[in-house]
Structure 1
Amino acid sequence: MRNSKITWAVIVGVVIAVLTGVGVAIAVNRGSTSPAATPAPAAPSASAPVLETTPSPSASAAPSPGADLTGPLDLLLVGVDTRVSIPDWQTHADAIMLLHVEPGLKSGYLYSLPRDLRVQIPADKKSGFAGGKYKITEAMAYGSRVPGKKTKNIQNGYELLAKAIGNYTGVKTIQAGAILNFGGLDKLVDKLGGIDLTIDQKVKSKHRKPDGTMRKLSGGDYIGPQAVYLPGKRHLTGWQAIDYARQRYGLPNGDYDRQRHQRQLVKAILGKALSADLSDPAKLEALITALGKTLITVGGRRPVEYAYALRNLQPAGVTMVQLDGSGVGSGGGYLGEQLNAEARGFLTAVAKGKIAPYLKAHPKLVNKG
C-alpha cells in the first residue's frame, strides 16, 4: 500500500476540525461485528536461535488488517464546539458529516446534517437524559453529561448522537466515527503548502482580522477589521482554510452554505494530500506530526484498518450531496431546522442502498463545487 493512500482516512476525519474549539480528537469505532485484528507476534530476542523451516504448501500470508472490510460503510464525522473560553459550556456537535461508502469501497457520498436539525433524541440512562425533541447538536451535550460530576464523557455523547442520527436517517449501523476540533488542522494545511479552493461566494470572517489575528470580543460580539474571502480561485493558508469553512453568519443560506464550504474543503485537502509526494517516510511523518494529538482511538477497529480498506477511495470518487431545509418555530420563536422532502428522500435512499438511482432522479442535490 502506498503511504500516500493511508492519509485518506486520517485526513477525512481530521478535516472535520474546521468546526470550532481547541483540544484533542477522538476516533470512536462502533457497530463493527468483524473481529479485531490480531496483534503481531513479538520479534525474537537477539539470543534466541533462528530455525530454518520449510513452509507448508497450504500456508499463506496473513491478510492486511482491514482487508475484510468490503462495504458498504457509513462513517460519522463530528466537529465539536467546545467553547473552552466560556465556563460550563456544554459540548455541542457543531458540524455533522456522514460518509457513505459503496460496496467495493471505491466510491462514496459525503453529506451533512444541519447542526440545528430538530430530531427526537432518545433517552440515555448513562447521562440521565430523559429524551425529547431537540436540535441534533444538543445530543452530544446531553449525552456527555456525567450525573453529579463536572467532568464530561465525550464518548457517551457521541454514542447518543449516533443513536439520534440513526433513528432519524434510518442508517442503523455506523461502523466508525471521529470527533474532532481545531487541533492541528491549520498546521496540516500549511505542511501541504496550503490548498487551492474555488470560493463560490463572498465570505466575511466573524473571528479573524485580515492578518489572521483574532478579532476583539466586546459585548458578546466581535469588533474590528475582518478577513474577507472573495469569489474565485484562491490559495489558502492553514488559518485561512479553517476560518473560511467556519463561517455561517452573513451568508445567504447560513449553515447550509457553511456545510457546502466544509465539504469543498474536505475534497481540496484530500486532493492536495494525495497529489503530494508522501512516499518519502520523512515527509509522511512530518504530515502526521503536524496533526498533533488530534486522533485517539477508543475501542473497536483501529484507524489503520479503515485506512487500508479505503485505500482505493480517491477524492474523484466522492460525490458531495447538498441537503437543504428550512427553519421551524412555534409562537414566533425559532426551534430549529427541518429537511425538505427531497433531502429526506435521499436519506431513505442511503438506508436502502439506492443512492445512485435517487440522485439520477434528483440531480440538483449533487454539489458540483
Structure 2
Amino acid sequence: MWGGNRRWLTLVLAGLVTIVVITVIGAVTTRGPDDEQTTPAATTGSPSTSPSPSPSPSPPPGADITGPLNLLLVGIDTRVSVPGWEPHADAVLILHVPAGLSEAYLFSLPRDLVVDIPAFEPAGYRGGRTKLTNAMSYGSRVPDRPKRPDPAQGYDLLSQVVSDYTGLRIDAGAVLTFGGFDKLVDSLGGVDIEVDQRVVSRHRQPDGKHRSPGPGVGGYTGPQMVYEPGDRHLNGWQALDYARQRYLPGGDYTRQRHQQQLIRALVGKILDADLARQPERVEQVVAALGDMLVYVGGRRIVDFAYALGGLSPEAITLVGLPGAAVGRGGSYRGEELTQVGRRFLTELRAGRVDAFLADNPKLKVP
C-alpha cells in the first residue's frame, strides 16, 4: 500500500508491471536458464541391451492457450491516509492479443468514460450511468466493513463494465498499488524514452523531492522538474513522474500516450537485458514489485508467461483512442469515444484491426 504524494500514479505502472510479470518474470520462475529441449545421448550398452526409452516431455504451462486473449490492467488511486477512502481506477489499459499470440494491441479507455454500471450485489450497488473510474470504487465496497474496501472485488465489477462496453471477453488482469515502482525501474538501470513534448511536472522538483502543497485544489509551490523533448534516460522517480502528468495539451489523452510509450520502452529494456538468463536480476525485479500486484485470473500467471513469451516490444502496437467531453450546458459529465474510437473496438472484435489502422494511421501511437 502507498499514499501521500504518490497517490496520483497512473496506469502505466499497472500495464508495465503486469506485462513484465506475464511475459518475463512468470516464465523465468519455472523455465530457468536451460529451457531448450535437447535429445538425450544414446546409452552405450551390450548388443543385447536396449536403452530405456526417455519419457515424453510434459507440455509447458499454458501450451493450450492459443488466443485471442484480453488482459485488463488497472491502476488504482488509493489514499490510505484518508479513512474509508475508496480506490478509483486512475486509468484503464487493455492488452489484446489475437489468435496465434504473435502480436498485441495496447489501448486505454478514459477513466472518465461515461458508461452503464450494472447492479453489483457483493457491494450493495444498485447500478447507474456514471464514469468508468467509479466502477472500481463502487465495486470495492464491503458492506460489513466500510473502512476496508476490497480492490479485487472492485476489479470484478470494473472488468464486467469494460467487457460490456468493448464487447471483449476479459481473460485475466491485475489491480496495482504503486509503492516500489521507482525501485523497479532503478533495478533495471533506468529506462530510455523519447520525450515527445515539453512536460513540466506539477509534483516534483529537479532534485526529485516532492513539491510543497500550495493554495487551491491540488496546488503546489516550488521549483519544477522539466522533461525537454528528445531522447532521455529516466531513473525510477523520473519515469514515474513523467507518466503521471496530465495538465498538458491534450490532457488525459496525452497522459495515456505517455503511459503506453513508457510501457513499451521498459518492456524492451527488460527483454534486451535477457532477464530470463539472469535469475539474480529476476529476484531484484520481484523484490521491487513487493505486494503491489493483485493478479486476477482463471489461469496461473506462469501459463500466460509461456503463452506470451514470444512477444517483443515491436510486436506491441500502441493505439490512442480519440474522445471528447460530454455534458449539459457548462456542466462536465465525463468523456465519450468518438465514432472512430468506437469503430476501432468493432474492427478489433472482428479481426480486421490491421486494415482499420492502415486507414486510420493517426490512431497509432509512435
Query: TM-score, structure 2 length as denominator?
Result: 0.83
Match of 2:29 in 1: none
Task: Give, in whole Å, the separation in 1 of the partners of 2:89 and 2:11.
Answer: 11
Cα gap change, 1:148 to 1:15, in 2 (>3 Å): closer
The yes-or-no answer on 1:346 pairing with 2:333 is no
Match of 1:211 in 2: 207
Task: Give, in whole Å, the separation in 1 of the partners of 2:296 and 2:232.
Answer: 38
Match of 2:302 in 1: 304
Task: Give, in whole Å, the separation in 2 of the partners of 1:160 and 1:123.
Answer: 9
The yes-or-no answer on 1:85 pairing with 2:81 is yes
> Quick one: which amino acid aligns to residue 82 of structure 2?
I
Where does 1:23-102 land on structure 2 (aligned, <5 Å)? 60-102=56-98
Deviation readout 1:295-350 (Å, 9 max, x if unpaired): 34456211111111101011000000010111011131100001100010001112
> Quick one: which amino acid aligns to residue 287 of structure 1?
V
Match of 1:294 in 2: 292
Task: Give, in whole Å, the separation in 2 of the partners of 1:273 and 1:67.
Answer: 23
Cα distance, 1:55 vs structure 2? 6.4
> Quick one: which amino acid aligns to residue 258 of structure 1?
R
Question: Which secondary structure state, in structure 1, belongs to the residue aligned with residue 123 of structure 2?
Answer: coil
Where does 1:99-114 land on structure 2 (aligned, <5 Å)? 99-114=95-110
CA contact (8 A) 1:16 1:181 kept: no
Where does 1:98-177 land on structure 2 (aligned, <5 Å)? 98-150=94-146, 151-171=148-168, 173-177=169-173
Match of 1:282 in 2: 280
> Quick one: which amino acid aligns to residue 229 of structure 1?
Y
The yes-or-no answer on 1:178 pairing with 2:174 is yes
* Range with greater deviation from structure 2 (213-222 or 261-270): 213-222
The yes-or-no answer on 1:192 pairing with 2:192 is no
Cα distance, 1:293 vs structure 2? 2.1
Task: Give, in whole Å, the separation in 1 of the partners of 2:184 and 2:150.
Answer: 28
The answer for unaligned runs of 5 or more in structure 1 is 1-13, 30-53
CA contact (8 A) 2:198 2:227 kept: yes
Where does 1:307-322 land on structure 2 (aligned, <5 Å)? 307-322=305-320
Question: Which secondary structure state, in structure 2, belongs to the residue aligned with residue 165 of structure 1?
Answer: helix
Match of 1:18 in 2: 13
Task: Give, in whole Å, the separation in 1 of the partners of 2:306 and 2:125.
Answer: 38
CA contact (8 A) 2:68 2:98 kept: yes
Question: Which secondary structure state, in structure 2, belongs to the residue aligned with residue 155 of structure 1?
Answer: helix
Deviation readout 1:234-280 (Å, 9 max, x if unpaired): 1100000000000102x111000000000000001011111114212
CA contact (8 A) 2:11 2:90 kept: no
CA contact (8 A) 2:174 2:296 kept: no
Task: Give, in whole Å, the separation in 1 of the partners of 2:106 and 2:319.
Answer: 6
Cα distance, 1:168 vs structure 2? 1.0
> Quick one: which amino acid aligns to residue 270 of structure 1?
V
Question: Which secondary structure state, in structure 2, belongs to the residue aligned with residue 126 of structure 1?
Answer: helix
The yes-or-no answer on 1:257 pairing with 2:254 is yes
Counterpart of 2:263 (choices 263, 266, 274) is 266
* Range with greater deviation from structure 2 (310-319 or 60-69): 60-69
* Range with greater deviation from structure 2 (277-286 or 182-191): 277-286
Match of 2:45 in 1: none
Query: TM-score, structure 1 length as denominator?
Result: 0.82
The yes-or-no answer on 1:241 pairing with 2:236 is no
Cα distance, 1:62 vs structure 2? 1.5
Counterpart of 1:325 (choices 318, 323, 326) is 323
Cα distance, 1:191 vs structure 2? 1.1
Higher helix share: 2
CA contact (8 A) 1:80 1:93 kept: yes
Task: Give, in whole Å, the separation in 2 of the partners of 1:214 and 1:326.
Answer: 32
Task: Give, in whole Å, the separation in 2 of the partners of 1:149 and 1:266.
Answer: 36
Task: Give, in whole Å, the separation in 2 of the partners of 1:175 and 1:94.
Answer: 21
CA contact (8 A) 1:189 1:195 kept: yes
Percent identical across equivalent pairs?
53
Deviation readout 1:27-77 (Å, 9 max, x if unpaired): 9x9xxxxxxxxxxxxxxxxxxxxxxxx8678x5221111111111101101
Cα distance, 1:85 vs structure 2? 3.2
* Range with greater deviation from structure 2 (271-280 or 291-300): 291-300
Cα gap change, 1:216 to 1:15, in 2 (>3 Å): closer
> How many residue pairs end up in the alignment?
323
* Range with greater deviation from structure 2 (108-117 or 214-223): 214-223
Task: Give, in whole Å, the separation in 1 of the partners of 2:13 and 2:303.
Answer: 24
Cα gap change, 1:272 to 1:15, in 2 (>3 Å): farther
